[in-house]
Chain A
Amino acid sequence: MNTVTYSDEYVIDMISKNFIAVKLHLGEDKEWATRYDVRWTPTFLLLDGKEHEHARNVGYLPVMEMLAFLTLAIGKEAFDGEKFDEAITKFNEVISNYPESELAAEAVYYKGVSGYKKGHDASELSRAYQLLHSKYPNTSWEKKASVWDS
Chain B
Amino acid sequence: MPVSPPIVAALSGASRRYGPSIALDGVDLAVRRGELLALLGPNGAGKSTAIALCLGLLAPDAGEARLFGQPPRELAPRRRVGVMLQQAGIPDALQVRELLAQTRACYPAPRSAEECVRLAGLEGLEKRRYGRLSGGQQRRVQFALAICGNPELLFLDEPTTGLDVGARESLWLTIRAMVAGGCAVVLTTHYLEEAEALADRVVVLARGRIVASGSVAQIRSRVVQRRIRCITALDPACIGAWPEVRSVCRDGERLDIVTDEAEAVVRQLLFEDAALTELEVRRAGLAEAFAEITREAA
Tell whether A and B belong to one assembly: no
